[in-house]
């Protein structure tokens, strides 16, 4: 709904969604209803390019859901286009129809006329399983802007030849493998020119903090000193303890102390005891023998 509200507030003409809108070909009814409602509230034309997680097939939501009339889905791994003459724009795209996809952008070139050429597509700039895309492909594409999907982190706005391109990342982190600021890309595109910006959306972030307890005698005191402020109170945090530490880690007490500092906190203990294991070498014990 945040994306829908921003699109309407900024009077967007086109919304590009570059795949992995669903995690798989199976989704909850409530998720489907919420998505259709949000997309239907957007006044812009919406273009979706299915990716490796939500690839188009007879069982995918893309095949049986009744999407609003302003939603256009690229259902084939062959690049096609829609023309929007009212705004002088052409939107290219293609969709995965299996978890893996061949390179789609190789030897592609958009039409050379007065219309603005956009593309939304799912692919990776490295590797060869998920529609490999090279900077050479982008540079020779004659596109004014290329909206990419697959990477869950904002790539920055980049340029290859005369084409601007970017990965927006996911709009909201959902685990410690999706850390950092999340959001969308918004901007204006004209023939041979694109002015794009990243708009943060996520209300909370996933963060991992490393703490070296070497030389510390009181882990609780060390943690309280490190997290004395409340700048992470909306975030989901994991604290990883490292170093040589022979004291006691009381996770229950630490969790109680930090309950007001974070939305949620978990701990991992990777400390090592401050004793050399070879000290027991000459002991007449099972440990010494081992």
> From first to last of its 290 residues, what are the pLDDT tens digits of the chain?
899 999 999 999 999 999 998 888 778 888 889 999 999 999 999 999 999 999 999 888 999 999 999 999 999 999 999 999 999 999 999 999 998 888 989 999 999 999 999 999 999 997 778 889 999 999 999 999 999 999 999 999 999 999 999 999 999 898 999 998 899 999 999 998 999 999 999 788 999 999 999 999 899 999 999 999 889 999 999 999 999 998 889 999 999 999 999 999 999 999 988 777 777 888 888 888 88
Q: Is 262 exposed, middle or buried (0-12, 13-18, 19+ CB in 10 A)?
A: buried
Helix residue ranges, H only, 97-210: 135-139
Q: Residue 276: CB partners within 8 Å, gap ≥ 6?
A: none
pLDDT of residue 13: 96
Predicted confidence at residue 82, as pLDDT, reads 96
Tokens representing residue 146 in the block: 């290329």
201-227: buried (b, 16+ CB within 10 Å) or exposed (e) per residue?
Answer: bbebbbbeeebebeebeebeebbeeeb
Q: Is the pTM of this model over 0.95?
A: no
Residues 6+ apart with CB under 8 A from 48: 17, 19, 21, 62, 71, 72, 73, 74, 95, 120
Q: Under a CB-based contact definition with an 8 Å cutoff, are residues 94 and 62 in contact?
A: no
Which is nearest to 47 in space by CA: 24, 87, 19?
19
Query: What's the pLDDT at 281?
Result: 80
pLDDT at 81: 96
* Three-state secondary-structure class, residue 3: helix
Determine the pLDDT at residue 15: 98
d(CA 17, CA 27): 18
For residue 187, the model assigns a pLDDT of 96
């Amino acid at each position: 709904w945040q994306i829908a509200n921003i699109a309407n507030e900024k009077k967007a003409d086109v919304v590009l969604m570059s795949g992995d809108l669903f995690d798989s070909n199976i989704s909850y009814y409530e998720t489907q209803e919420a998505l259709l409602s949000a997309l239907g509230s957007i006044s812009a034309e919406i273009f979706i390019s299915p990716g490796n997680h939500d690839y188009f097939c007879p069982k995918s939501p893309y095949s049986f859901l009744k999407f609003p009339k302003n939603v256009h889905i690229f259902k084939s791994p062959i690049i096609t286009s829609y023309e929007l003459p009212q705004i002088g724009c052409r939107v290219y795209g293609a969709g995965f129809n299996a978890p893996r996809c061949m390179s789609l952008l190789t030897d592609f070139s958009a039409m050379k006329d007065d219309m603005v050429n956009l593309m939304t597509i799912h692919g990776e700039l490295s590797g060869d399983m998920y529609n490999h895309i090279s900077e050479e492909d982008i540079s020779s594409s004659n596109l004014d802007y290329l909206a990419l999907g697959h990477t869950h982190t904002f790539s920055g706005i980049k340029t290859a030849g005369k084409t601007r391109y970017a990965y927006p990342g996911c709009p909201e982190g959902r685990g410690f493998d999706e850390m950092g600021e999340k959001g969308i890309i918004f901007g204006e595109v004209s023939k041979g020119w694109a002015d794009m910006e990243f708009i943060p959306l996520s209300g909370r972030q996933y963060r991992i903090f490393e703490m070296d307890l070497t030389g510390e005698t009181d882990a609780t005191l060390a943690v309280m000193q490190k997290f004395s402020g409340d700048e992470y109170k909306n975030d989901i945090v994991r604290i990883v303890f490292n170093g040589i530490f022979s004291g006691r880690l009381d996770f229950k007490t630490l969790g109680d102390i930090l309950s007001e500092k974070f939305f949620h906190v978990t701990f991992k203990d990777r400390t090592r005891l401050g004793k050399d294991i070879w000290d027991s070498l000459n002991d007449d014990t099972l440990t010494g023998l081992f």
